[in-house]
Amino acid sequence: MRKIRNCLGLWLACLLLAPSAVLADVKLPTIFSDHMVLQREQTVPVWGWDAPGTEVTVSIAGAEAKAKCDDKGKFMAKLPALKPGGPHEMKVVGTSSVTFKDVLVGDVWLCSGQSNMEWEVKNSNNPKEEMAAGDQPRIRHIKLAHTPTAKPETVVPSKGWVECTPKTVGDFTAVGYFFARTLQKELDVPIGLIGSNWGGTRIEPWIPPEGFQQVPALKNIADNLDKYPEKNKDDKINHQSALALYNGMIAPLVPYAICGALWYQGESNNGEGMLYYEKMKALVGGWRKVWGDEKLPFYFVQLAPYKYGGDPTRLAGIWEAQQASLAIPNTGMAVTVDISNVKDIHPRNKQDVGKRLALWALAKTYGKSGFAYSGPLYQSMKIDGNKIRVSFDHVGGGLVARDGKPLTHFQIAGEDGKFVDAKAEIDGGTVVVSAEGVAKPVAVRFAWHQEAEPNLSNKDGLPAGPFRTDKDKK
């Protein structure tokens, strides 16, 4: 008993004499865990908390960075650019030490939006086959908990990074996984996916303050940011309110080094027309601002046809806003009019969605060439007598009717502004549109209906995007 009392006394003495050494521990946010992927070939910030004034050392694969904790205990170390590969161990040493195991270095992509991005592999086409083929150890995924907050947070709940195996892949974001699988095959580097998404959410809660502030059309929100996010009647944060999900699910990730972002959202903003384009500018610009990368790649999915009800052209207004978003530098858009299910807002073919996003990334981010990465997108029109000739970008190997039948979902209007179904024929890289009874055409619309599943594509198998030439006239 005397020995026990002596040991206890010694322990209490140490506790009183050196509280920082005993009570303080080095801690990192949940985005750092075993099995994580660190971004290759750019500076890698590693941050966390320890006792104020403590020097913290971060080391991995022969690289090392040091940082001192500020008066609030936060440190920010910056590892030099790392070469792709692994697995490695990353060690963080301060008043205590943390070792992260099975760490890969490759490309990290943020996967955000609403339910079609959150949609899992196990609920997509051919789930049994896809999960059985899920032995992809160099693809990793981390899913963040749904977390709306009043102020920008430093930590978001998560179970950590997960290695892709047949047992785990079923829970991965399907769009992200099929995107990663395509990149893995072409690039042979590890791919990390950060699943920060929430079904049914609007775009506004994901936008940072800096995003609203740089878009004049959103001045009504930018001038009142102190009022957001709003609360529900139960006094809980309204997760659909501006800033709510940026605060809780994006801010805790910054400045984790990423290669780019994938975005699949818009269903919950249906009906806003070109206002959605302004919000896309705020989202992209805002994320680029907080990450300190004006050229951060941003690739998004154009919504699939679906029977929403109401005005059948409302969805076309979102399509138009999404295509307009291609004017934002370093963006790309996957068109999905050919892989939809008008009776299901969650089309199960996420394989092609992920692949089409990957084509944009391979072309624009990775500089690959020699392939088509987009379907035909409207470029211009020219009136030729009683016909209108429509020209396209991204013709690829040439235009084609995907099913070998006459082109569908073209309409034409004369001087009275009334649109009628039209005959459309491919002529080289253009489509010539006409209709009986329309002698002096002025405008063309293509797939301008929420249930339209048109058959125009390029010979590379990528569909044409919906458009109208009369947008300035409504």
The pLDDT value recorded for residue 145 is 98
- Its sign, for the CA torsion 367, 304, 162, 196, is positive
Please give the model's pTM, rounded to 2 decimal places. 0.94
Encode pLDDT of 85-120 as tens digits: 999 999 999 999 999 999 999 999 999 999 999 999
Mean pLDDT for the stretch of residues 328-337: 98
pLDDT over threshold 70, residue 302: yes
How many contiguous H segments (helices) and E segments (strands) does the chain have? 11, 23
Binning pLDDT at 50, 70 and 90, where does residue 215 land?
very high
Q: Tokens 């944060």 map to which residue?
A: 237
What pLDDT was estimated at residue 139?
98
In whole angstroms, give the CA distance from residue 375 to residue 371. Answer: 11
Is 227 strand, coil or helix? helix
CATH architecture of 24-103: Sandwich (2.60)
- Confidence (pLDDT) at 472: 57
Residue 24's pLDDT is what?
75
Distance CA 145, CA 153 (A): 13
Whole-number Å distance between alpha carbons of 380 and 278: 23
For the chain, give the percent of residues with pLDDT over 70.
95
> How far apart, in whole angstroms, are the C-alpha atoms of residue 378 and residue 446?
10
Nearest-angstrom CA–CA distance, 190 and 313: 42
Query: Domain map of the chain by residue range?
Result: 24-103, 105-364, 377-468
Mean pLDDT of the chain: 95
Give the pLDDT mean for 396-403.
97
105-364 CATH fold: Rossmann fold (3.40.50)
- Whether the per-residue pLDDT at 15 is higher than 80: the answer is no
Q: Which residue has the higher pLDDT, 32 or 19?
A: 32
pLDDT at 20: 37
pLDDT (average), residues 232-237: 96
From 223, 219, 217, 279, select the one nearest 246 (Cα to Cα): 279
DSSP string, 334-380: E--TTS--TT-SS-S-HHHHHHHHHHHHHHHTS---SS--S--EEEE
Q: Per-residue pLDDT tens for 216-229?
A: 999 999 999 999 99
Position 161 confidence tier, pLDDT thresholds 50, 70, 90: very high
Q: Residue 385 pLDDT > 70, yes or no?
A: yes
